[in-house]
Amino acid sequence: MSKPVVLIAEELSPATVEALGPDFDVRSCDGSDRGQLLAAIVDADALLVRSATKVDVEALEAATRLKVVARAGVGLDNVDVRAATQAGVMVVNAPTSNIVSAAELAVALMLAAARHVSPAHHSLKGGEWKRSRYTGIELYEKTVGVVGLGRIGVLVAQRLSAFGMKVIAYDPYVQAGRAAQMGVRLVDLDTLLAEADFMSVHLPKTPETVGLIDAEALAKVKPSLVLVNAARGGIVDEAALYSALKEGRVAAAGLDVFAQEPCTDSPLFELENVVATPHLGASTDEAQEKAGLAVARSVRLALSGELVPDAVNVQGGVIAEDVRPGIPLTEKLGRVFTGIAGQVAESIDVEVRGEITDFDVKVLELAALKGVFTDIVEEQVSYVNAPLLAAERGCAVRLVTDPESPDHRNLITIRGTLADGSQVSVSGTLVGINQKERLVEVNGFDVDIEPTEHLAFFRYADRPGMVGTVGGILGDAGVNIAGMQVARDAKGGHALVALSVDSAIPTEALAEIQTAMDADLVRAVDLV
């Protein structure tokens, strides 16, 4: 029998090939050369890329034997994950390979901006010796605000603590006790903006975080602030930052990421108080080697049919066929749970009931946690790091199984207790011969709705006219309702409207709905 073909489309660490071992036919091509890639990928079982190779529908259609695409890095902008999923191709990356490199670069940018390293360097190379012009500031005994206390944010906080800095952080999904153990004081965003002498951004890029640091936010900071963004472009509004720097309302900035990349022409580059790098967060020899080793391990697992912890679209492994369809449903339930909770729960039970409990359902606990943390941490969430993320945030997790399921053949419930003692729960099941996903319970209310890309939930005092009110406001906002379910705990008690809609609901419309309904719960959940 011929060996599986592993195609390496870009230069990777030599350790990558060594880690693959002798069990594969390892070939190479220039992935940036479209014709060469399409010819070489035809009989490949696995494809290893970095960032220059575009893995799109055309490439996937040419790859008739392809089982896994491995990105030796974190970002997946060059891989069409949706198309790969539809083609049954697993996509894996190396989610923790660059966290140290990214953290160190953030610190480097902070130091460079504080000490005017870049303009002083250019001035000296230009024949000038202007020491007084480039007088900087120390980090020692200053306050640094870390926006996002995920893996990279924690590493930055640790390193800056060693500089003698006071560390505060904004992250609504981290327990205060966990932050205190690291010597970090959790604050709200407005407090961080007001108190920080330095600020470093470490958030994932989501609809909620895009433009988070905008003109309004920058109006609240000290004029001596040094701002660093080495996370994702677009979280800091570049036009607003330019104005603040130009007008002296922000002292300096260090930037590694931009809203549109590659970015070689920005007004920010004209300013002496900006130090910028071309997205170098993962560009170290060590990070590249870690990434290569990680994806080599994932390829070996994928081609041998074993569990692949770093799969981002489909989960491999020795999982019972009866359990597999529940994995994507459980991930969605986790994301809905977090969207409704609005915070990390102190404890979570993943309850699995029905016939599938005859099999090993541990993967559903992992899928639930992967969903719970997907939208709230900066790093890529996988089946292997999701339990660690829960532990880091002081969230106790338990898998509960019961062969009895009175109302459904199988039922998956995520139930959590929040810091104030309140509970949040969501349940789902698969129905029919096509195993269609259904959301069947939210916070004790019975519903029956498909978990589509855009969902919304409103809880209010049961009274006439509220359904029409919701429909009218969404109609005025240009949001089409695809499905609606109304449930109540008792006549005249509390009611819940669950919606699936065709597009994301604007923040203004949500606020209008809350006011009009006097709702005590208004949540939009986007699963895109």
Which residues are tagged catalytic? 232, 261, 279
Burial of residue 25 (CB within 10 Å: 0-12, 13-18, 19+) is middle
Distance separating alpha carbons of residues 507 and 472, to the nearest angstrom: 16
If you write DSSP's letter for every residue of 313-329 in order, what string do you get? S---SS--TTTTTHHHH
Alpha helix ranges (H) inside 408-526: 466-476, 507-517
Distance separating alpha carbons of residues 35 and 467, to the nearest angstrom: 55
Distance separating alpha carbons of residues 167 and 160, to the nearest angstrom: 8
Amino acid at 249: R
> Which distant-in-sequence residues (6+ apart) come within 8 Å of 492 by Cβ?
462, 463
Report the DSSP pairing between strands 410-417 and 423-431.
Answer: antiparallel
Q: What are phi and psi of 114, to 5 degrees?
A: -70, -30
> Which distant-in-sequence residues (6+ apart) come within 8 Å of 449 by Cβ?
438, 439, 455, 483, 484, 485, 498, 499, 500
Tokens of 156: 């930055």
Tokens of 361: 């359902």
